[in-house]
Amino acid sequence: RGIIEVRDFTKCYGEFVAVDQLSFTIGEGEIFGFIGPNGAGKSTTIRFLATLLRPTSGSAFVAGHSVVDDPMGVRRVIGFMPDDFGVYDGMKVWEFLDFFAVAYEIPRARRRTIINDVLNLVDLTHKRDDFVNGLSKGMKQRLCLAKTLVHDPPVLILDEPASGLDPRARVEMKALLVELSRMGKTILISSHILSELADFCTMIGVIERGRLLACGGIQHIQRQI
């Protein structure tokens, strides 16, 4: 049994089949790289797992919770970073995190500690009292990652967290993900660039036109494609 299980997930938009009978299993502790060209169906699958999209058919489970039948249970165990996260420019960095901590009903007394901890982890402690709109792109992405951590979920689902980052910020993001993995998080990360994921993912799933072409360790993948 995996901590993430997708079973025969299909999503149609009208006549168009965006994702076609997709199944895969991710074991606890894996860093699963979800790779495929633009339009392949990555975001559709990720939004399904994040309980934001209803399937045409199929099911999925995260830490035993059904995405379809128990979305609130799933939301408690995942940290989700969408590909187009709106940064709340009018907020300070700590307020942005506090906003989500309140949404997760974390008691006030614990929020400050948690916020300081996640800021430390993503190396933004020095920006705590700055406005979000003054941050660099890389810092905003790290802040969005920090936001996924406030309720300490075992699973992180990250839709193209490195997109639009310069090489240095990419390296920082990668290092951060490796550290989170060492802390015990299971991570699903998408990208359209295999080389971006190949050196640190423990498992790769390749999706094209809504179908899984290959899934397994990186050596297995390189033999297949």
Q: Interface with ligand ADP by CB under 6 A: which residues?
A: 13, 18, 36, 38-44, 94, 98, 111-112, 115-116, 128-129
Which tokens go with 219? 């050596």
Q: Which of 107/184 has CB closer to ligand ADP?
A: 107
- Of 63 and 101, which CB lies nearer to ligand ADP in the complex structure? 101
Q: Which is nearer to ligand ADP, 42 or 142 (CB)?
A: 42
Q: How far is the CB of 41 from ligand ADP (least distance, A)?
A: 4
Task: Let me know how many helices (H) and strands (E) the chain has, helices first.
Answer: 8, 10
Least separation, in Å, of the C-beta of 146 and ligand ADP?
12
Q: Say if CB 151 and CB 78 are below 8 A apart.
A: no
* C-beta separation of 148 from 81 below 8 A: yes
Residue 41 or 205: the one with the smaller Cβ distance to ligand ADP is 41
Query: How many residues make up the chain in this entry?
Result: 225
CA distance 89 to 91: 6
Which amino acid type is present at position 39?
G
- 14: alpha, beta or left, given left = phi > 0 and alpha = psi -120 to 50? left
